[in-house]
Amino acid sequence: MDKINPLTAKDTVKIYVSHTKKYSSWVIILAISLICASSTELYRPILYKQFFDVLAKGSLTNPSDLFFIIFELLFLAILGWAFWRMTVIANIYTAANIMTDLLNSCYKYLHGHSYDYFNNNFSGSLVRKVNRYSRSFEDITDQIIWNIAPTVISIIFILIVLFFRSPILAWIILIWTLVYIIFNYLFIRYKMKFDLERAAIDSETTGYLADTVSNHLNIRSFSSFSSEFYGFKRITGRLCNIRIKSWSLDNYAEGVQGLLMLFLEFIIMYFAILGWKNELLTIGDFALIQAYLIKIFDNIWGVGRFMRKIYSSLADAQEMTEVLLTKHEVVDKENAKPLNSKMANIIFQNVSFSYQKQSNIIDSLNLSIKNGEKLALIGPSGGGKSTIAKLLMRLYDINSGEITINGQDISAVTQNSLRDAIAFVPQDPALFHRSLMENIRYSNPSATEKEVIAASKLAHCHEFISKLPLKYETFVGERGVKLSGGERQRVAIARAILKNAPILLLDEATSSLDSKSEKYIQDALSELMKDRTTIVIAHRLSTIMQMDRILVIDKGKVTEEGSHKELLKAKTGTYQKLWQIQAGGFK
């Protein structure tokens, strides 16, 4: 990405503007108070001109005229102070609320993306994009309100006044302003590629840092700190180089701006002297002109920097705007209805699926699961077992075929109603950095404390929770790192028990349990599976012996089917070989 995408920049502006409409009355108040505040400041040099013209009369000066002008200056100063305070109040209210709305919009839309989208993007980079988006809005509006708008108002006001006093001076300032703005615009367009590169490397730095922080145990286990630090230094070195280029260009631009201002001041004063010589200007006009020159220089000196800041902020926002413009991969249909989940007859009919246009992981799968049936899926790694679970939860849309529950195509029902009907326990459950009570109750927020404890006892996690100092109020750390793998799985099982959904989906749910805990969990799961349609994915065959039906899945197809006893009777087969290996202690 070597330049800002003008279409994306327009979309960024549209998104920002759309969020301001809710606060349009405050925006109007802000604009009016800003114009009035700037105008009162710009009218004061006119009073100073009158003051010095009165003084120039010498002995003919009437002190009362001077006192009257001083009181006018005081009144304008107080009025300007009041308008600036109103501008600040309006800006504080609108900016704070709009930034909050932007964060909420980003959060909502980001979480609408698919499971696959999060697998393909660093969580740290996504978090940074969201945070930079609202800050970019703040930076842009600050530049407009406190710098760009006052500069525009000042130049327009000054040009109007000077056209009445000395048209030639007004034309000089107008032409000079156009040259100044064109120079800065062309410079900004040139420099933008460096700002975009800086934003991209900045996101890369955050993503790399977040990745190493979340994998700190791997870094220690493999003694790879030196290589990881070298990789981080390589990225930060690129960031340093691009910053030096960007800041050096700013320095060159400011040097050119300084020369332009020197020339303007010389030319203006030269023509002002000629005007005074020809009695077209008074001594008071010199005070007026000098005050206006100082005002112009004070405002316009930073215009290039202000515009660069706006473009830089647009560059920072561009990545998040692209996220917001990326269509959600898995969406509810326009007239999607809730799933009727009183029963759970599940049918996969000619279902095919592939990840990112690769060869099919699931190939023309036909599978029927009756309501209340306990089904086990086994097979080699990569055979498609977990993919079947993800397709049932509609984490992905299938390429062809149809998946129905009670005759309803799951692509035609709302995603929330579908997932509400499924209690899912993954192989490696991730918990929130919240209390154990909150994590277990997550599946059923309305559950009472007694119900949470009852589910915990069934899942055999009440025992270890009771021994903790804070018991159910214990925080578990990011993704549950303060708990062992087996403890996390038992908490996840307790969460599934509490959900009490008609469909139970277990993906290696007992893989991290010791033999004693597994026996307890098997007893709990036996109770949990009653009157529920259950799909169990497992490698350990001891966990699935009591299933009504066992399917061997290989290369996305069903290669064997039957109960435990039926599959063992086969002379050859994958299930029989796996059983012999596991029953024989892997000899």
Backbone angles phi, psi at 382, to 5 degrees: 85, 5
- Averaged pLDDT, 563-569: 78
Closest CA to 344 of 367, 368, 372, 365: 372
* Assigned token pair, 472: 């159910």
Q: What 3 state SS string does 313-365 have?
A: HHHHHHHHHHHHHCCCCCCCCCCCECCCCCCCCEEEEEEEECCCCCCCCEEEE
Q: 83 versus 432: which is more confidently predicted?
A: 83
pLDDT of 569 above 90:
no
- CATH of region 337-414+533-587: 3.40.50.300
The domain spans of the chain are: 6-325, 337-414+533-587
> CB count, 10 Å around CB of 586?
6
| pLDDT tens string 94-111 | 999 998 999 898 888 888
Helix H or strand E encompassing 507: strand 503-507
What would the pLDDT profile of 341-380 be if each residue is shown by its tens digit?
A: 777 888 888 888 888 766 778 888 888 888 888 888 887 7
pLDDT, residue 82, reads: 94
> Could you tell me which residues come within 8 angstroms of residue 32 by beta carbon, excluding any fewer than 6 positions away?
none
Mean pLDDT, residues 559-587: 70
Q: How far apart are CA 89 and CA 91, in angstroms?
A: 5
pTM of the model as a whole:
0.73
Return the percent helix, strand and coil in the chain, to nearest 5: 65, 10, 25
Structure confidence at residue 512 as a pLDDT band (50, 70, 90): low
Q: Tell me the one-letter amino acid at 244.
A: I
Domain 6-325 fold: ABC transporter transmembrane region fold (1.20.1560)
pLDDT one-digit tens code per residue, 216-229: 777 777 667 788 88
Provide the b/e sequence for 249-279 (b: ≥16 CB within 10 Å).
beeebeeebeeebeebbeebeebbeebeeee
Q: Which two tokens stand for residue 553?
A: 């899945």
Nearest of 316, 278, 264, 274 to residue 128 by alpha carbon: 316
Write out the E strands in 30-152: none
In the predicted model, what is the mean pLDDT of residues 416-445? 85
Is the pLDDT score of 158 beyond 90? no
What is the predicted pLDDT for the residue at 25? Answer: 92
- In tens, the pLDDT along 470-479 reads 888 888 877 7
Mean pLDDT of the 408-418 span: 88
Q: What is the pLDDT of residues 197-210, one digit of tens each?
A: 887 888 788 878 87
- The predicted structure's pLDDT at residue 511: 65
